[in-house]
Amino acid sequence: MTRTKRTYEDYVNLKYKPKKTDLICKFIVTTKKNIKEAAGAVAAESSIGTWTHTTTIKSYMLNLAAVVYQIKKLSPKAFLTSIAYPNELWEPGNMPGILSGIAGNIFGMKEVENLKLVDVIFPKNIAKSFPGPKYGIGGVRKITGVYKRPLLGTIIKPKIGLNSRDHAKIAYEAWAGGCDIVKDDENLVSQTFNKFEKRLNLTLKSKKKAEKETGERKMYMINVTAETKEMLRRAKLVEDSGNEYIMVDIVVTGWSALQTLRNEDFKLVIHAHRAGHAALNRVENHGIGMNVIARLCRLVGCDQLHIGTVVGKMFENRESVMKNVNALTDELYGVRKTMPVSSGGLHPGHVPALYALFGKDVIIQMGGGIHGNRLGTRLGAKAARQAIEAVVNGVSLKEYAKTHKELKSTLQQWQ
């Protein structure tokens, strides 16, 4: 056999020690086949190999082969597999190109029953080829003027159907009650009953009114998700209006559009909604881990990202949510940290658990937990703010509720 003729198992070398310049991927490979053959297939098909020997492979290409360097058995058919990819395989600054390699055709191969990309470790030159967040946690703190507690946000509910005027009124009530942030939900874009421009103008008037009355900075995250050129147009409208924030649905918009949005370098905080992530992540042994999406989102340049709740309505457990947080906040060659956002089925009674999990550097977003409060939106927001005040000051919600009637009523409603 010539040196250029390679089987899938030739891509396995358990003695290989990864280089600092390698891009490392960790996969859970589920297979009935020989694990070396299955893992080697993943490495081969995402680098220089294919299902059969080709006469076109050259000896100078061999150093571009991905290498399976670690295999750990998790169950009779599932294996945690680590693969090192040579640096030269990747075009710096091209996230779609990178994903086409590490998360492309390999998910559909017969050699694997299931395949889950559970982590990606980037070498310095690739990580630094992306801009990262423009603001990150520190910048968000500076813009909001809130430094010592979690930020309190709400999502306008119902998520879709309100006209622009009622949307703006509800936003005002939430801000007046104590919310720092109001945001659109993921599927509110520019429908006939609530056009983008009208919603922007009316809601910003509510924002200014609430700021004047409360003496606090208020933030509006308007959803600019659209075809890329239209999304850029809307972002420019937001910037020109003097607003500080935009929101974008990152999974459905796509990495190319997200890179374009960030690279325009608007003076805007980018709030990333993860709508659609569970289609990639929810199956335990197949797809792409949310922590991987989080790390890519951070590199591309989002300032805030939804990470799950543990205690709310979302499916993730504590371990997976904390992996998401770590992907946003660990040391990454000096790239700014992305602010975690906890959202999904939350109410004021969840605040102690959320604070214990995430500390102060988190945005706690309650939709139904504010607008579903029997006291109404304004007092629902007030109760949520009281819950945050209590935990930051080390007081139990039960004790704080003795002197704060809004919190007392809310705890009786949901606990």
**pLDDT the model gives residue 2:** 42
Q: With beta carbons less than 8 A apart as the criterion, state whether 369 and 342 touch.
A: no
Catalytic residue among 36, 157, 350, 371: 157
Residue 2 inside a domain? The answer is no
* Cα dihedral value 331, 104, 26, 9, nearest 10: -140
Catalytic residue among 273, 347, 350, 382: 273
State how many domains the chain has. 2
Residue 61 inside a domain? The answer is yes
Q: With beta carbons less than 8 A apart as the criterion, state whether 9 and 36 touch.
A: yes
Q: Report CA Rg, the chain.
A: 24
**pLDDT the model gives residue 1:** 35
Query: Is 160 in the same domain as 259?
Result: yes
Residue 156 inside a domain? The answer is yes
Residue 1 inside a domain? The answer is no
Query: Is 66 in the same domain as 147?
Result: no
**pLDDT the model gives residue 157:** 96
**pLDDT the model gives residue 30:** 97
Residue 239 inside a domain? The answer is yes
Among 69, 99, 127, identify where a domain stops: 127
153 closest CA partner among 142, 163, 144, 162? 144
Query: Is 182 in the same domain as 201?
Result: yes
Rounded to 5°, angle at Cα 370 from 367 and 375: 150
Q: Is 58 annotated in the active site?
A: no
**pLDDT the model gives residue 51:** 80
The span from the CA of 372 to the CA of 156, in Å, is 11
Q: Is 273 annotated in the active site?
A: yes
The span from the CA of 305 to the CA of 300, in Å, is 12
Residue 252 inside a domain? The answer is yes
Among 127, 146, 166, identify where a domain stops: 127
Query: Is 283 in the same domain as 258?
Result: yes
Residue 74 inside a domain? The answer is yes
Which structural domain, as residue segments, surrounds residue 73? 8-127
- Digits of tens for pLDDT over the chain (415 positions)? 345 668 999 999 999 999 999 999 999 999 999 999 999 999 999 999 888 888 888 888 899 999 999 999 999 999 999 999 999 999 999 999 999 999 999 999 999 999 999 999 999 999 999 999 999 999 999 999 999 999 999 999 999 999 999 999 999 999 999 999 999 999 999 999 999 999 999 999 999 999 999 999 999 999 999 999 999 999 999 999 999 999 999 999 999 999 999 999 999 999 999 987 877 888 889 999 999 999 999 999 999 999 988 876 767 788 889 999 999 999 999 999 999 999 888 999 999 999 999 999 999 999 999 999 999 999 999 999 999 999 999 999 999 999 999 999 999 999 7
Give the domain CATH number at 47: 3.30.70.150
Query: Is 49 in the same domain as 107?
Result: yes
The span from the CA of 286 to the CA of 112, in Å, is 10
Query: Is 213 in the same domain as 345?
Result: yes
Query: Is 167 in the same domain as 291?
Result: yes
**pLDDT the model gives residue 284:** 85
Q: With beta carbons less than 8 A apart as the criterion, state whether 121 and 326 touch.
A: no
Residue 3 inside a domain? The answer is no
Query: Is 25 in the same domain as 148?
Result: no
**pLDDT the model gives residue 367:** 94
Among 127, 154, 186, identify where a domain stops: 127
Query: Is 396 in the same domain as 359?
Result: yes
Query: Is 99 in the same domain as 141?
Result: no
Give the domain CATH number at 283: 3.20.20.110
Query: Is 307 in the same domain as 242?
Result: yes
**β-sheet with 287-288: strand ranges across:** 67-73, 78-85, 23-30, 114-121, 287-288
Query: Is 47 in the same domain as 160?
Result: no
How many residues in the chain? 415
Residue 168 tokens, joined? 């703006």
